[in-house]
Structure 1
Amino acid sequence: MPHTTTAPRSATEAAHQLASDGHHVHIVSEQHSTCLAYRCGPAPLQLPTATRQRAEAVRLSLTRGIERI
C-alpha cells in the first residue's frame, strides 16, 4: 500500500516533518532560533534586534486584527 502523508496541523509539526526528512530546519521564537537537527551548536542562536522587532510588530498587528473581529 502506498505511503500517504497527511498535512501538518501546525508550523511546528511541519518543521518536524521536514527535519525527519533530513532538511536543516530552525524553529524561531521571540529571541532565539532552535536548530532541530542540532547542527548549529548546543546553544540557541540569538536573532538580530531588527528581526525580533519585526516579529513583535507582526504579532501586535495580528492581535489587533483579531480583537476587531
Structure 2
Amino acid sequence: MATRDRRLAEFDGAGEPPPGLPVEVLCEDHSGTYQLPFACRYVEGRWQNDAAGVPVEATVIGWRVPRMKHSGVA
C-alpha cells in the first residue's frame, strides 16, 4: 500500500481542476495505480482525453498540474 499512498501524494490536486486546464491524472483499478500517458481535462463532471476529447474509462483518484520537463540542454 506504500506505493499507492506515495503515488497519490504526488497527485495533490484537490477538488476539481480549473476549467479548461489540461492535467495529469492518476487512475486505479484491480491491478493497482497508474498515470495515464496523456493529458486530461475535467469537463461537465467527467474526465476526458485532452487531445482526443473522448471520455476516460478509468477511475481517476488524483490529478496534478503537469510537471515541467527538463530538456537536458544547458
TM-score by length of structure 2 reads: 0.26
TM-score by length of structure 1 reads: 0.27
Larger Rg: 1
- Larger % of helix: which? 1
- Larger % of strand: which? 2
The higher relative CO (CA closer than 8 Å, separation ≥ 6) is in 2
